[in-house]
Amino acid sequence: MSTPVPRVEQRPALLLDRVSKSFGSVMALKSGSLRMESHSIHALIGENGAGKSTLVKIIAGVHQRDAGTVELAGESVNFSNTAQSKDAGIAVIYQEPTLFPDLSVTENIFMGRQPVRGLRGVDRRSMRTQVTALFDQLGVSLDPDRPTRGLSIADQQIVEIAKAISLDARVLIMDEPTAALSGVEVERLFKVARALRDEGRALLFISHRFDEVFDLCDTVTIMRDGEYVATTAIEDTSVDELVRQMVGRDVTTLYPKEPASIGEDVLVVEGLSQRGLFHDVSFSVKSGEIVALAGLVGAGRSEIARAIFGVDDYSSGTVSVNGKAIRKHDPANAMGAGIALVPEDRRNQGVILDSTVARNTTLAIRRSLTKYGLLWPSAENDAARRWASRLEVKTSALDAQAGTLSGGNQQKVVLAKWLATNPTVLIVDEPTRGIDIGTKSEVHRDLSTLAGMGLAIVMISSELPEVLGMADRVLVVHEGRITAELDRDEATPESVMFAATHSKESAA
């Protein structure tokens, strides 16, 4: 696999020891540790929410740690902003680079530190010579004079890397750089990464793809629930071992879904495709059944849900409820057929923060509350009161603004809005994200009860315990395709995680 690299035994290039960070009451990082060596590519892996990104942001100076130590080449450092970490020789390349689209590749690389020549301003010739040399060094061919607008994500990352090298960064961090890259582009990126390693730099590579981790990296650090789990040399571990370390917790007893009598197919999705988002998605959900769409963030699960509900368009495929085809790209039509969607982004798509609890709750059923075509507040208040009390929304009055409610109560308002429509298919997208534990279990209880009443439920969740506890069936989505269908007893943290990180061919 990777060639043995001559390792100079010395101080680590970057050392983090028991670093923690919390936002309000949420502990995003409990105890993060990391030891990066020069001449080495280090992988950082973990589930969504394991604290990887928080750790990276602390290294980059975006966030400031609450406790713990960070040492760069043996010196304790404390960055209060990104400029300081950059000056110290740390570069972070994000999944989606942020370049100035109208400036040229060269101008982007030298942004903010253009070489000047006497009084005549920016020394373009020197800039261009340096960039050409950089690209030669990296072994890539990119036109230094073209604007960055229209460059592929892969090329934009190369520009960011070139920028980092021109700053002589000793530590390079790549946060899921391959997520949007094609096979050839990944190969080129890896070539560049290996060249940088051999120059003696330390690289950190965050990825959900195990094949890449094994292909590229020398050592791997596993994180789970905001905590450091282990660091091992890549040749001493295996995919199974890594998955076990990433998941490693008891998840069987958390959210037991009550058994419900499962009936006929209600929602049938066939061959749903939309270029670049999801491809040939087919599944069905029976009444009384909870089907979970599991997978990594960005796998295309929310996009599939939005297409089914009609908020977004799709290029081919069909959606039907109880045998009746749903017109595409028309939420009102989908609602008429009995589909309800509790969206992922509660504050922008779920509730209207400036509107009242009553009006939020009755927005989707407002047409059925009219009398002679007119809608009076008393009708809205009556309906809202009924649903608010069923879901135990905690609010002082029905005319309180939704924005004044807590996140969990806002989510209850959204649920109330959709239950009021008397749906036959309920799609919930990350129903408990950002919600406190108590409200979370109430939401789970509600979903279980609703399934018991014969609703067909599609639950999108990035939390494995939730998926395993609630779902009758788990569909795993990987890069826009369903790569595995697991029954309740087949679904284990390992099997779901394995399917979520592998394309179908290798998973089979």
Q: Which residues between 49 and 88 bind another protein (CB under 8 A)?
A: 49, 51, 53-54
Q: Which residues lie closer than 8 Å to 345 by C-beta, 6 or more apart?
A: none
Q: Is residue 125 at the binding interface for another protein, with CB under 8 A as the rule?
A: no
Q: How far apart are CA 444 and CA 435, in angstroms?
A: 12
Region for residue 46 given its phi and psi (left: phi exceeds 0; alpha: psi -120 to 50; beta: otherwise): left
Range 177-236, binding another protein (CB under 8 A): 226
Q: Is residue 262 at the binding interface for another protein, with CB under 8 A as the rule?
A: no
What's the min distance (Å) between Cβ of 254 and another protein? 18
What's the min distance (Å) between Cβ of 375 and another protein? 6
Among 36, 222, 291, 388, binds another protein (CB under 8 A): 388
Report the candidate in 505, 471, 426, 181 with the shortest Cα–Cα distance to residue 496: 471
From 191-199, 270-278, 344-352, 479-487, span contacting another protein (CB under 8 A): 344-352
What's the min distance (Å) between Cβ of 351 and another protein? 6
Q: In 255-350, which ranges are E strands? A: 265-274, 278-286, 290-295, 316-321, 324-325, 339-342
Among 363, 441, 481, 494, binds another protein (CB under 8 A): 363
Q: How far apart are CA 230 and CA 283, in angstroms?
A: 38
Q: Which CB atom, from 131 or from 351, has the smaller least distance to another protein?
A: 351
What's the min distance (Å) between Cβ of 460 and another protein? 15
Q: Is residue 404 at the binding interface for another protein, with CB under 8 A as the rule?
A: yes
Q: How far apart are CA 267 and CA 97, in angstroms?
A: 39
Q: Which CB atom, from 12 or from 407, has the smaller least distance to another protein?
A: 407
Q: In 24-125, which ranges are E strands? A: 26-36, 40-45, 67-72, 75-76, 90-93
Among 60, 321, 335, 467, binds another protein (CB under 8 A): 335
From 73-81, 153-161, 198-206, 417-425, span contacting another protein (CB under 8 A): 417-425
| Per-residue contact flags (x/-) with another protein for residues 293 to 312, judged by CB under 8 A | ----------------x-x-
Q: Which CB atom, from 72 or from 419, has the smaller least distance to another protein?
A: 419
Among 422, 487, 490, 506, binds another protein (CB under 8 A): 422
Among 204, 358, 484, 500, binds another protein (CB under 8 A): 358
Tell me whether strands 90-93 and 40-45 are parallel, antiparallel or unpaired.
unpaired
Q: Which residues lie closer than 8 Å to 80 by C-beta, 6 or more apart?
A: 61, 64
Instruction: At 321, list the tokens.
Output: 């409820």
Q: Cβ distance 210 to 180 under 8 Å?
A: no
Kindly tell me the sign of the dihedral angle through the C-alpha atoms of 54, 58, 64, 66.
positive
Range 7-36, binding another protein (CB under 8 A): 23-24, 26-28
Q: Which amino acid, residue 419?
A: L
Q: Under DSSP, is residue 194 helix (H, G, I), strand (E, B) or coil?
A: helix
Q: Which amino acid, residue 76?
A: S
Number of residues that bind another protein (CB under 8 A): 74
Q: Cβ distance 127 to 115 under 8 Å?
A: yes
From 121-129, 258-266, 275-283, 390-398, span contacting another protein (CB under 8 A): 390-398
Q: Which CB atom, from 423 or from 480, has the smaller least distance to another protein?
A: 423
Q: Cβ distance 51 to 63 under 8 Å?
A: no
| Per-residue contact flags (x/-) with another protein for residues 431 to 470, judged by CB under 8 A | --xx-----------x--xx-xxxx---------------
Q: Is residue 508 at the binding interface for another protein, with CB under 8 A as the rule?
A: no
Q: Which amino acid, residue 441?
A: S
Q: Which CB atom, from 170 or from 306, has the smaller least distance to another protein?
A: 306
Instruction: At 254, list the tokens.
Output: 């958390």
What's the min distance (Å) between Cβ of 55 and another protein? 11
Among 343, 431, 480, 493, binds another protein (CB under 8 A): 343
Q: Which CB atom, from 134 or from 357, has the smaller least distance to another protein?
A: 357
Q: Cβ distance 349 to 309 under 8 Å?
A: no
Q: Is residue 348 at the binding interface for another protein, with CB under 8 A as the rule?
A: yes
Q: What does the DSSP 8-state code read for residue 349? A: I
Q: Under DSSP, is residue 213 helix (H, G, I), strand (E, B) or coil?
A: helix
Among 399, 436, 485, 494, binds another protein (CB under 8 A): 399
